[in-house]
A and B are shown apart, each in its own frame.
Chain A
């Protein structure tokens, strides 16, 4: 039982490049989400999914796309990276109501 895994751990991009941050979970949790963490700002919700085939926007969705074709995977896509997207990205899962959210180890992204 690996819990929540994220790849890659570190990534450097140039402005305008695209990439996908991967998130996978083996706990059969319905809910998955993506947060970004910036210094002095806590964590902010980017996108979330309450189940396979269902996604919705969070607080800061601009510049990011998501899809949820399976229960296990919830990739985050940056279509055209910008320096403002330099951040640490965390994926989280939740089994259902009255349960805690489990966070992955994070991906540190730098956009030059």
Chain B
């Protein structure tokens, strides 16, 4: 099956700085790569996703890049704010619904 590795496991950044989370996947057939944000006591919520026919996607302060050859993808958050503090998960899938998740990154934005 698919194996998704996520780094780092924890990330502390100063407010206003950028945060980068990286993931690698093992199955070259995977074609859908979502990122989820999970706040304490809540379920994961989709923040951005990318498909294998696109190399980069941006939504305001959040961007995702995908390198199919190297089988890795990254989440970039610019101008971080305290409300960006949460656990972030990457995932990979061949069919949109059977997601394989990374272990998560706890992001702390210091005021």
Using a CB–CB cutoff of 8 Å, the interface residues on chain A facing chain B are 4, 31, 33, 35, 40-45, 48, 50, 58-59, 90, 92, 94, 97-101, 103-106
Contacts and interface: CB of A to CB of B under 8 A. Distances in A.
B49 A100 contact: yes
B99 A101 contact: yes
Interface of B: 1, 4, 6, 9, 34, 36, 41-46, 49, 89, 95-104
Nearest to A108: B41
A41 to B, nearest CB: 6
A59 B103 contact: no
A43 B101 contact: yes
Contacts of B89: 42-43
Contacts of A40: 9, 103-104
A94 B96 contact: yes
Contacts of A99: 96
| Binding site secondary structure of chain B | loop
A43 B87 CA distance: 12
B103 A103 contact: no
Contacts of B100: 45, 59
Nearest to A33: B97
Contacts of B43: 4, 90, 92, 103-106
A35 B98 CA distance: 10
Nearest to A94: B97
B44 A100 contact: no
Given A40-B104, A94-B97, 9 more contacts: A33-B98, A42-B103, A43-B99, A45-B99, A48-B97, A59-B100, A90-B43, A103-B44, A106-B43
B101 A100 contact: no
B88 to A, nearest CB: 11
A106 to B, nearest CB: 5
Contacts of A104: 43
A50 B46 contact: no
14 contacts: A33-B97, A33-B98, A35-B101, A40-B104, A41-B103, A42-B103, A43-B89, A92-B43, A97-B96, A98-B96, A101-B99, A103-B44, A103-B45, A104-B43
